[in-house]
Chain A
Amino acid sequence: MNLNNYIKKIKKRFIELWKFKIFRIAIIIHIFYFILSLFLTLTIFRYRTDFRVYYVTAEVFLHDINNLYIEGYIVPFRYLPISATMFIPFYLMGFNSGFIAFSFFNLILNILICIVLYKIIILIRKDDHEKDDKKVISYICIFLMGLPNIYNYILGQNNLYVTLLILISLLLFLKHENLLWNLLASIILGVSIIIKPTAFLLIPFLIIVKFDLKKREIKFDFFKSIIRIIGVFIPIFLNFIFFFLYPLLWEGFLDTNFSGENPIAYSFSFSISQLITNFCYFYNISFNQILILFGVLGLIGGLGYLIFIFRRIEVNSILYSYAFGILITLLTYFDSWDHHLLNLIPILIIVIFSLPHYSQITPKISFSIIFFSFFSLIFAGIWFQINHIFPYNILPTFFLLFVFYEISRYCLFSTKKMNLEV
C-alpha cells in the first residue's frame, strides 16, 4: 500500500470516528491538555518539571557521563544509562524547542497507543461483546480524556513510551505463539524497562508456569520461558557496556537506587510502601525504607505470583501477567504517581474486553478505570491541602487493591463462578 492510500485510509477512519460524540469530546479535551501543558510548563513550572531532569541528564551524558548519577538534579536520575540517550535529540534542540518537540512526540505516542490498544481489543474481545466499535471507542476515549495525561504532559514524563512498548509487546505475545515472536516481544518489553522500569516486576510473570489444581501437577514451558527471560534481559544488559566502560557510573547507579537514601520521606505517592513511610514519619516512628519496600514487595508480589501460578484461566494468561506486574509495581514501589496510571489504564481496558460481557468483575474494573482517569489526581491535590493532618493519599491505593483483588478472584475461580452468562 503506498503512502497516499494509507493517508486516505486514515482520513476515512478519522471521519468515521468523528461521528461519535465521545470521540469529538476526547479529541478536543486532549488538545486542550496538550496546549495548556505547553503553556504551563514553559512558564510557571519551567524549573520544576521532570523534563528538565531528562534534559540535564542528556547534557551530562554527552559531556561528563561519569557524573550521570551524581549531578545535582532537582530530582535524582535513577534510570538505566541508555535511557539518557533518548533525550539527547531534545537536548540538542534547546530547552524550549526540545520540550515542544518532546510534547509533540508524546501526542503522537498517544495516537499510536490508541491504535495498538484497539488492535489488541479486537484480537482478544470475547464473542458475547457488541460487534460494533462504540464500546471500544468509548474506553479508548476515556483513556485520552484521563487527567493523568495532562499531568504527564506538564511534567514532560516518558510514561507514554513505556505504555506503547508494553502494548506492542503484549500484542505480539497475544498474536504469535512461536519462539521468534516471543523473543521479539520480550526484547521490546526489555526496551520499555530501559526507559523506565515500571514493567520490571512483570519479568517473573513471563515464565510460563502453572499449577493444575485438578491434575495436581505443575505445567512449565521451560524453553519458551527461557527465551522470554533472555529476550527481556538483552536490552537491559546492554547498559552494562556503559557500566563496564565507566565504573563510576555503576557505583552511582547502585548508590542512587539501592542505598535507600533517595526515596522521599513524605509524599502523595499511593504505593503501600509510601503510605507506611508517611505513617512512620507522621507518628515519629523510626523506619528503614529498604526494609519497608522489601516487606511490601514480598507480601503483595509473592501473593500475586502465587495467585498467578494457581490460576484457572486458560487463555490470554499473558494479559493477566501484565496486569499483575504493573499492579504490583504501583502498589509496592515508593514512587507511584498519577502519571504512572497511564501504564495501567490501557491494560485494565484490555482486561475488560477479555472478560465475558456480563462478568461480575467488569463493572468494578470499569469503575476503577473511571476513578484512575478522572478522580485520582484530584486526591493528590487534596493531599497537598491536608497532608499535615492526614498524610495518606489512600483512595488510589484502595482502588489498586480492589482491582488486584478482583483480577485475583477471576484468575483463581475461573469463569464459571465469576461470569453471569446471559
Chain B
Amino acid sequence: MRKKVFFLEFVFLLILLLNIVSNVKANDYQVGVNRNQELIWKCNVCNIIEMDNIFGNDWEDSGIFKNLSKGKRMKWRIDNIEVDNTFITLNFSEWGWTNRKVWGTKDNYSQIIFFSNPNDYTEELNFTNYSSLVPFWFPVPVGEYMGELKLNKWYDIDNRVLPTLNVEIEKDTLLPGFPSKDIKIIAIYNDQGILNSYKLYTKENVVILDIAYDFLPIYVIPILIGFFCVLALGTTVFIIKKRKTRIYLKLN
C-alpha cells in the first residue's frame, strides 16, 4: 500500500512540476549572430536576362541585389546588436556583391530592425522593402518568430524541418507590370536566423536566382570523419566476431 501511495505521489509531483515549468514564457526573441561575426553569401545562379524580363532592367541598380551576378559574393560584418523590449536591431557593415577575393574597405553601413514582439506588427505584413522580398536575417528562434508574424497571402511559413519562407507572387501584383510572370521564392534560414538558401523560381520551377550562405562549421568535418571511423570499425568488428562464431559452431 505504501508503495502505491509513494508511486501516485511521485506521478502527481511530476505532473505538477512539469505544469509549472511549462508555464514559463518560452519565447523571448534574441539575436542568433554575434558581434564581429562575418556572414558571406555566394550567388550560384543568376539568370540576368530572365531577371530583367521579370523585374525590369533596373532590378540590380540598388538594394541587396545591387551588382549581383553569378559567382559573386557578399559579406556582412556584425558591428552592433541591440535588444530591448520594443526592438531588435542589427547594425552591420556591408561589402556588396563582388568577384574580388580580397574584400577591401566596406561599401556600406546598414541596419535591420525587427519588433521584439512579432505580434506588434500590423496585419498583412510583407517584405517589399527588401528587393529580395524576404529578409536575409531574422531574430531567433526563427521558426517561432516567423510563425507569429501576420504575413500577407504571398507568404507561407513551413517549419516542419528547416525554417522556410515560401513566397508566391502572381504576375502584376507587386507593381503594375511587375513581376511580369508568376514567381516563387523559397528562403531557408539556419538556427542563427541567417538566410541559408534563397531560390527564386519562375512558375515552371526553373531557378533563375540562387544565393547560398557560404559557411561550414569548423567542428563538422572532424566529427564526421570520427563518426564514420567508429561506424566502420564497429561494422568490421561485428562482422569478424559473427564469422568467428559461425566457424567455431561449424567446427564443433
By a beta-carbon cutoff of 8 Å, the part of chain A in contact with chain B is: 35, 38-39, 42-44, 46-48, 74-75, 96-97, 100, 264-268, 281, 284, 286-288, 358, 363, 367, 375, 378, 382, 384-389, 420, 422
Closest 7 CB pairs of A and B: A42-B22, A284-B207, A286-B205, A267-B161, A363-B242, A422-B249, A385-B220
From known contacts A74-B147, A286-B205, infer whether A48 and B22 are also in contact, taking CB-CB under 8 Å.
no
Cβ–Cβ < 8 Å partners of B249 in chain A: 358, 422
- Judged by a CB distance under 8 angstroms, whether B130 is at the interface is no
Contact of B196 among A100, A264, A367, A388 (CB under 8 A): A388
Cβ–Cβ < 8 Å partners of B60 in chain A: none
From known contacts A74-B159, A100-B15, infer whether A382 and B186 are also in contact, taking CB-CB under 8 Å.
no
Closest to B248 in A: A422
Closest to A422 in B: B249
Contact call B206/A286, Cβ cutoff below 8 A: yes
Contact call A375/B45, Cβ cutoff below 8 A: no
From known contacts A382-B224, A388-B196, infer whether A43 and B143 are also in contact, taking CB-CB under 8 Å.
no
Cβ–Cβ < 8 Å partners of B196 in chain A: 388
- Judged by a CB distance under 8 angstroms, whether B107 is at the interface is no
* Chain B residues numbered 1-59 whose CB sits less than 8 Å from any CB in chain A: 14-15, 18-19, 21-24, 26-27, 44-45
Cβ–Cβ < 8 Å partners of B26 in chain A: 43-44, 46-47
Contact of B227 among A48, A378, A422 (CB under 8 A): A378
From known contacts A266-B188, A286-B204, A387-B162, infer whether A46 and B45 are also in contact, taking CB-CB under 8 Å.
no
SS class, residues of chain A in contact with chain B: loop
Measured in the bound complex, the distance between the Cα atoms of B246 and A284 in whole Å is 50
Contact of A264 among B160, B210, B246 (CB under 8 A): B160
- Judged by a CB distance under 8 angstroms, whether B174 is at the interface is no
Measured in the bound complex, the distance between the Cα atoms of B191 and A44 in whole Å is 14
From known contacts A47-B26, A267-B160, infer whether A388 and B213 are also in contact, taking CB-CB under 8 Å.
yes
CB of B190, distance to nearest CB on chain A (Å)? 8
Cβ–Cβ < 8 Å partners of B216 in chain A: 386, 388-389
CB of A420, distance to nearest CB on chain B (Å)? 6
Cβ–Cβ < 8 Å partners of A43 in chain B: 21-22, 24, 26
Contact call A287/B205, Cβ cutoff below 8 A: yes
Measured in the bound complex, the distance between the Cα atoms of B204 and A367 in whole Å is 44
- Judged by a CB distance under 8 angstroms, whether B231 is at the interface is yes
Contact of B224 among A38, A42, A281, A386 (CB under 8 A): A386
Task: Report B211-252 CB contacts with A as 1/0, cut-off 8 Å.
Answer: 011011100100110010001000100110010001001100
Contact call A264/B206, Cβ cutoff below 8 A: no
CB of B90, distance to nearest CB on chain A (Å)? 22
Cβ–Cβ < 8 Å partners of B206 in chain A: 286
Cβ–Cβ < 8 Å partners of A75 in chain B: 159-160
Show 7 A/B contacts (Cβ-Cβ < 8 Å), sorted by A: A48-B159, A96-B18, A264-B160, A265-B186, A287-B205, A386-B216, A388-B216
Cβ–Cβ < 8 Å partners of A268 in chain B: 161
- Judged by a CB distance under 8 angstroms, whether B93 is at the interface is no
Closest to A47 in B: B144
Cβ–Cβ < 8 Å partners of B161 in chain A: 264, 266-268
Measured in the bound complex, the distance between the Cα atoms of B41 and A388 in whole Å is 12
CB of B25, distance to nearest CB on chain A (Å)? 10
Measured in the bound complex, the distance between the Cα atoms of B223 and A385 in whole Å is 11
Contact call B188/A97, Cβ cutoff below 8 A: no
Closest to A363 in B: B242
Cβ–Cβ < 8 Å partners of A358 in chain B: 246, 249
